[in-house]
Amino acid sequence: MKVVVLGATKGMGRSLARLFAERGDQLFILGRDAEDIDRSARDLEIRGAPAPVGCAVCDLEDRHTFAPALEAAEKALGGLETVVVTAGRFATQEAMEEDPELAASVLTADFTGTVLFCEEARRRLLARGGGTLCAFSSVAGDRGRKPVVLYGAAKAGLSHYLEGIDHKFRAAGLKTVCIKPGFVKTGMTAGLKPPPFAGEPDQVARAVLRAIDRGRPVIYTPGIWRWVMLIIRNLPRAVMRRIGF
């Protein structure tokens, strides 16, 4: 499989890219830092990805990098079959309330930038007859909650976008896969108290790989979050105002 991964240098994205490499998929990776993505590309070659693993700079906060990055990937791979977006930003609600610039950065990366990148990927995949577009949203987008008002709003928008293009383009050959991780122990969540059922990046990556291979439109991972969020979505608003979750 010819795979492009945006966000392969850290956390869940790195774990997923390594799984692709270990089974011999052709890889091209994208990220903000040229040195980071080059190191990751060499790591993926060692782990089994056909060499060379190409890389290009792509920043979710700079839409002008999207087309050149995907063009480079398409040329290097000789086509596109799967595009995965694991990159994004996180900050606490309190930090974003105090810093509008930080809030703007998170909202841009996690919603506007991700959607516009996916639109560029969607057009290229459909031009080749279809493929798989996978993006990481979050359980934070399932319902408005006190600790994740802004971050959750961005992820809610992303989830709705992914559902919409799945409805519109699946018959044309585009499989859209929306990943909704719960709390996962990565650098993004460092310093936050993990819940009892927090996930690990490798565990999440294995679930995501299965979802991509099967073309599943939505998965929660770790799987318990499907049931946690089912309860949360059905709690009365008066209860949500009282609890801190």
DSSP per-residue codes, 73-101 = HHHHHTS-SEEEE-------HHHHHH-HH
DSSP state of 107: H
- pLDDT for position 75: 97
Which residues of the chain are modeled with pLDDT < 70? 185-199
pLDDT at 192: 58
What is the C-alpha separation between 218 and 169, in angstroms, rounded? 15
Task: Give domain limits for the chain.
Answer: 2-242
pLDDT at 31: 96
Spatial CA neighbour of 70 closest among 164, 6, 158, 15: 6
- Chain mean position to CA 209: 13
Specify the pTM. Answer: 0.93
Nearest CA to 19 out of 33, 30, 32, 5 is that of 5
* CATH class entry, domain 2-242: alpha beta
d(CA 174, CA 160): 16
